[in-house]
Chain A
Amino acid sequence: MSMWVAILIAAGVAFGLKLAGYLVPADLLTEPHVKRVTAALPIALLAALVAIQTVTGEGGAWTLDARLAAVGVAIVALLFRAPFIVVVVLGAATAALLRLAGWS
């Protein structure tokens, strides 16, 4: 699969999911179990992405480096209700400065 094909499939599914909500009968998803699970899905996925992006490296091997410090700084920024862009920039700056100082 080429990158373009992957992008078009993923974008097509994303749009299809949005449109489906306007087309399907609303009572399809009112089952409380289903609602709770679908609300929990983004939490599980994003938490997994944070973990993978932060503590794994080449080939999925566990790697502790400047990224962990960056996430720590990001969490402090979030506790202070910093906007998204500030959190991201602080995260990048933390890692960049640590690496400049000779850390991995």
Chain B
Amino acid sequence: MTAGALAPAERRVVVREALSVGIATGAYGISFGALGVASGLDVWQTCALSLLMFTGGSQFAFIGIVSAGLHAAPAAIAASSLLGIRNGLYALELTQLLGVRGVRRVAAAHVTIDESTAVAIAQEDVRASRLGFWLTGLSVFTLWNLTTLVGALAGNALGDPRAWGLDAAASAAFTALLWPRLKNRDAVAIAVVAAVVAVVLAPNTAPGVPVIVAALAAFIAWRGPRRAGPATAPLLPQSETSEAEHRGREQQP
């Protein structure tokens, strides 16, 4: 059953899943674009992040820290890089599934993000996984970059970012990125420790440093209890934008 094309009905399901995730995720590129210019980047720098970095959490972290000024750039690079590690772990899971080589491997790497991975591994058929991965990755990439530009231009036109609550929008964005990851008590404990450490350090350290130091809270997980279940389970966040996952969960009684 590995040869041949997907049945039209199966194909439609994957296409619908991939495009709905693509549109939902693409839409919040607007907030990234607006926050990018609000944090002091110009329109082209904001767009370059979406085009070249292309991993939402890291992009939000980068602009959040670098908004303190250029002297915070090393900390911003460190934070975005630490957040980007999970994409490498997704790639480890995907490399067998996708079977890509050469240029296609480079392209696959660039669109390896939460959403494309979630749709790919949610499928039962390898062909559906590959179709889901590429369609999700490319639709998110296209829309994310277009909406970043729109958001950046709109953000530039708005004027004072605080009057529009854009600084609070950044807080809300980080909260929404964190929320689906707070799945168990360990996760909540790590989050609380990290938040407290960061706030305590903030007044007396350089911008960005509290966030990097707080990341050490992740090492609480080192001694955490071994949980039953597949080892890969905690790696995949249940992305709020992943329609595929919502639907999958709803189908299970």
Contacts and interface: CB of A to CB of B under 8 A. Distances in A.
Contacts of B54: 14
Interface residues of A, number: 77
Interface residues of B, number: 106
Contact of B215 (A13, A18, A48, A75): A48
A50 B178 contact: yes
Contacts of B28: 84-85, 88
**By DSSP majority rule, is chain B's interface helix, strand, loop, or mixed?**
helix
Looking at A22, A30, A55, A94, which has the most chain B CB atoms within 10 Å of its CB? A22
B176 A49 contact: no
B79 interface: yes
Interface string B25-51: 101101100000000010001001100
A6 B216 contact: no
A41 interface: yes
Interface string B160-175: 0011111111111111
A7 interface: yes
Contacts of B61: 45-46, 49
A47 B168 contact: no
27 contacts: A3-B70, A6-B73, A7-B49, A12-B52, A14-B53, A17-B85, A26-B92, A35-B235, A36-B224, A37-B222, A39-B221, A43-B194, A43-B218, A45-B215, A48-B195, A48-B197, A48-B217, A49-B60, A49-B211, A50-B178, A53-B171, A56-B203, A60-B204, A61-B202, A71-B168, A74-B172, A74-B176
Interface of B: 24-25, 27-28, 30-31, 41, 45, 48-49, 52-55, 57-58, 60-62, 64, 66, 70, 73-74, 76-77, 79-92, 94-96, 100, 105-106, 108-110, 112, 162-179, 181-182, 186-187, 190-199, 202-205, 207, 210-211, 214-222, 224, 226, 231, 234-235, 237, 240-241
